[in-house]
């Protein structure tokens, strides 16, 4: 799985090692971190592109993120695509959660799903919330889900 920084620089380490180094570096500088993980997708013709982000927030001092993009030609219903986004975020959160526990870093999983029932993505809200909370992770949906709806949204081509 290829990850990169926001400036485009590739992350050459396994993502677990890169995240641990980032946590160590930032906490040594005295920052209190919070991590938000989210995925967004965009359909273009026959392709669906997913962007997953790991957003590091330095309390009161901005933040940075790691990004992973992938494309598929699989066709999804809107509900199915929302749940695939959530699954991609949970996969990364699960791989990294031991680091967040070890280093006492708060973590949330953000779902790009609207809480307003007038939006099609809302069909997936109950399942997504159950999936995320059932895994023991903190959950945010739109409009609070900035990792998926703002950060990942900006880097899905």
Residue 104 Ramachandran class (φ > 0 left, ψ -120 to 50 alpha, else beta): left
79: left (phi over 0), alpha (psi -120 to 50) or beta: alpha
Give me the CATH number covering residue 82: 3.30.420
Are 93 and 87 spatial neighbours (Cβ–Cβ below 8 Å)? no
- For residue 121, the enclosing domain spans 3-155
pLDDT in tens, the chain (157 residues): 799 999 999 999 999 999 999 999 999 999 999 999 999 999 999 999 999 999 999 998 999 999 999 999 999 998 899 999 999 999 999 999 999 999 999 999 999 888 888 887 788 888 898 989 999 999 998 888 999 888 887 887 6
Number of domains comprising the chain = 1
DSSP state of 75: -
């Amino acid at each position: 799985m290829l990850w990169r920084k926001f400036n485009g620089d590739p992350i050459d380490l396994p993502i677990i090692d890169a995240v641990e180094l980032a946590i160590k570096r930032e906490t040594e500088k005295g920052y209190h971190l919070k991590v938000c993980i989210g995925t967004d997708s965009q359909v273009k013709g026959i392709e669906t592109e997913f962007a997953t982000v790991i957003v590091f927030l330095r309390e009161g001092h901005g933040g940075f993120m790691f990004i992973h993009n992938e494309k598929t030609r699989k066709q999804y219903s809107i509900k199915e695509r929302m749940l695939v986004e959530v699954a991609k975020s949970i996969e990364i959160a699960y791989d990294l959660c031991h680091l967040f526990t070890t280093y006492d870093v708060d973590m949330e999983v953000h779902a790009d799903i609207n809480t307003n029932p007038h939006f099609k993505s809302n069909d997936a809200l109950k399942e997504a919330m159950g999936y995320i909370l059932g895994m023991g992770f903190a959950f945010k949906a739109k409009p609070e889900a900035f990792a998926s709806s703002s950060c990942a949204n900006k880097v899905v081509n």
